Structure 1
Amino acid sequence: MPRVLAADPVSAGRYLVTVGACNDCHTPGWEEGGQVPEADWLVGSPIGWRGPWGTTYPSNLRLIVQSLSEDAFVQVLRTRKERPPMPWMNVNALSEADARAIYRFIHALGPRGEPMPAAVAPGEKPATPYFDFTPQQMERLPVGTSPGTATQRP
């Protein structure tokens, strides 16, 4: 199976976290150009992602990694199927070596921050700020049709 080659597993994990866009959700302020010091990476966010699945929150990965063994973390990355927007189908495809590298990088960062809010059930309004991902004006698009050329369903 393919894997990232780097000078050491921590460097490989840093690279995977960066190009895998983990910081996009799990690091507050990253959306402002990615200029967040590494010491502040992956502490989670209290801003929810709300959609038909309810509201989910980007976890504090630094606390999660400290509470799991490397083997348990790899098992989570390889098998977990949870609610959006976390792209579990992509994460499940990581090689074991890459999953271990991510663990080692996050573990090396050490614990920091607080746990994030628990998920909120569908239909319940979260008490925190949130992004709304509720689909609007849904149309069925025939395969190979772009949104600009679609016809509305009856």
Structure 2
Amino acid sequence: MNRVGTFAAAASGLVLLTACQPAATSSAQAQADTDPHVVAATDIAAGRYIVLVGGCNDCHTPAYAQTGGAQPPESEWLKGSIEGFTGPWGTSYAKNLRLTVAGMTEDQWVETLATGTGLPPMPWPSVKAMSDADKRAVYRYIKSLPGDAGEVAPAALPPGVAPSGPSVKMG
């Protein structure tokens, strides 16, 4: 075999070996594929499920708590609440998540949920523990919600300042 033939045979072998190797993936992608996450027909369906079982509506949907858990129309979900949560920290209000996601990219949402802090009753440790795939699914679900986005929820009040509207006394 001459030099050209030897080179061609070696190159063919190399191509065959390369084809048998698994595709290279980034460590971030490999981690995302192995992290526990909700699997559903679509990301939006997964996000909806997470919102339901995660109790997001309990605080972030107007008057949800007063209904005893009866499901309001989905067009009203996650618009925030004027009902405050009062405790040693003052009074906090659940944000309008529709307006929140409208003002940020999906990556910003994931970063916010990964590093966020805030007042009770927001369960930040649980939110931070969510996989990035689930955080993205929730973002996509919120972006898909029908109806108007609603109004901005009231700002938190410091300790000692009484809320002017309804509030739930905690701790």
Distance 1:131 1:15 in 2: 26
Q: Which residue of 2 aligns with 1:124?
A: 161
Q: Which residue of 1 aligns with 2:16?
A: none
SS at match of 1:92: helix
Q: Which residue of 2 aligns with 1:8?
A: 42
Distance 2:166 2:64 in 1: 17
Unpaired segments ≥5 residues, structure 1: 136-154
Task: String of CA shifts for 1:75-119, please: whole Å, max 9, x gaps.
Answer: 111111111010011101010000000000001116511001000
Deviation at 1:70, TM superposition (A): 0.4
| Selected match of 2:87 from 51, 60, 71 | 51
Amino acid corresponding to residue 125 of structure 2 in structure 1: M
Structure 1 vs Structure 2 CA RMSD = 1.1
Q: Which residue of 2 aligns with 1:147?
A: none
Alignment of 1:17-32 (within 5 A): 17-31=51-65, 32=67
Amino acid corresponding to residue 119 of structure 2 in structure 1: R
Amino acid corresponding to residue 158 of structure 2 in structure 1: A
Amino acid corresponding to residue 137 of structure 2 in structure 1: A
| TM-score when normalising by structure 1 | 0.83
Distance 1:46 1:30 in 2: 11
The structure having more radius of gyration, on CA atoms, is: 2
**Is contact 2:63–2:81 with CA below 8 Å preserved after alignment?**
no
| TM-score when normalising by structure 2 | 0.75
Q: Which residue of 1 aligns with 2:140?
A: 104
Q: Which residue of 1 aligns with 2:115?
A: 79
Q: Which residue of 2 aligns with 1:140?
A: none
- Paired residues in the alignment total 134
Structure with greater helix share of residues: 2
Unpaired segments ≥5 residues, structure 2: 1-34
**Runs ≥4 in structure 1, deviation > 4 angstroms?**
none
Distance 2:74 2:96 in 1: 14
Q: Which residue of 1 aligns with 2:27?
A: none
Distance 2:128 2:70 in 1: 25
Amino acid corresponding to residue 15 of structure 1 in structure 2: Y
Distance 1:40 1:81 in 2: 25
- The alignment-based identity, stated in percent, is 51
Distance 2:60 2:70 in 1: 12
Distance 1:115 1:9 in 2: 26
